[in-house]
């Protein structure tokens, strides 16, 4: 009798985590406060180093104004490879982000929207949660690009009569094998990034 490999079974462990008894201190606020688009040639040695962000030329990245976004459910594609259960062969993650504050003096928000649509897919994405954390790629290593790539960006305006105008931005990226990690966005780090 030959051995049939069950590709859906692994001895790799899944590490758990513990929480404290105070339930409220275990909660994390939902929502996305801002996002950052880095040029693809930007390599980062330490995501948490404010001096590294300070030294980074503002022409090498851009960031959104404050707004409000949220994670969207991942879209997955599965394939039946063998008699075993289907495998996830593609995953797309994303956030939907809404900006309601605009430049009503020089109207630069129109230029920014156009650049998002036409250049955004050529960038790498990081974002700041309403929980005060800076999110980046979990498998990032010093000296690499920390953002999520293979980006798709769509942006359009809405504004019904009697309400304020909104710029709705959809950010999607290929995420098979690319998960999140985060670090606290300290005051120094925030000041260095959002110059």
| Residues 90-145: tens digit of each pLDDT | 999 999 999 999 999 999 999 999 999 999 999 999 999 999 999 999 999 999 99
Portion of the chain with pLDDT greater than 90, in percent: 77
Query: 192 in helix, strand or coil?
Result: helix
Model confidence pLDDT, tens digit, residues 175-189: 998 899 999 999 999
Q: Are 135 and 123 in contact (CB under 8 A)?
A: no
Mean pLDDT of 12-23: 82
Q: What distance in Å separates the CA atoms of residue 146 and residue 42, rounded to the nearest whole number? A: 9
| Structure tokens, 181 | 């990690």
Which pLDDT band, with edges at 50, 70 and 90, does 5 fall under? low
* CA angle, 124 then 121 then 42, to 5°: 30
For position 29, what pLDDT does the model report? Answer: 92
| pLDDT score at 3 | 47
Q: How confident is the model at residue 86 (pLDDT cuts 50, 70, 90)?
A: confident
């Amino acid at each position: 009798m030959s051995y049939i490999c069950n590709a859906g079974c692994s001895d790799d462990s899944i590490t758990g985590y513990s929480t404290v008894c105070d339930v409220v201190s275990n909660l994390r606020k939902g929502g996305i406060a801002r996002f950052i688009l880095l040029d693809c040639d930007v390599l980062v040695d330490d995501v948490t180093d404010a001096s590294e962000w300070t030294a980074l030329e503002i022409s090498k990245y851009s960031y959104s104004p404050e707004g409000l976004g949220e994670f969207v459910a991942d879209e997955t594609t599965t394939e039946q490879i063998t008699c075993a259960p289907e495998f996830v062969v593609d995953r797309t993650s994303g956030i939907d982000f809404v900006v309601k504050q605009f430049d009503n003096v020089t109207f630069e928000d129109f230029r920014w929207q156009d650049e998002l649509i036409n250049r955004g897919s050529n960038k790498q994405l990081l974002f700041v949660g309403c929980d005060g954390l800076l999110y980046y790629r979990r498998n990032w290593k010093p000296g690499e690009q920390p953002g999520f790539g293979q980006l798709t960006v769509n942006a359009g305006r809405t504004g019904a009569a009697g309400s304020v105008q909104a710029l709705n931005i959809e950010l999607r990226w290929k995420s098979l094998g690319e998960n999140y990690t985060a670090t606290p966005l300290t005051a120094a780090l925030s000041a260095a990034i959002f110059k």
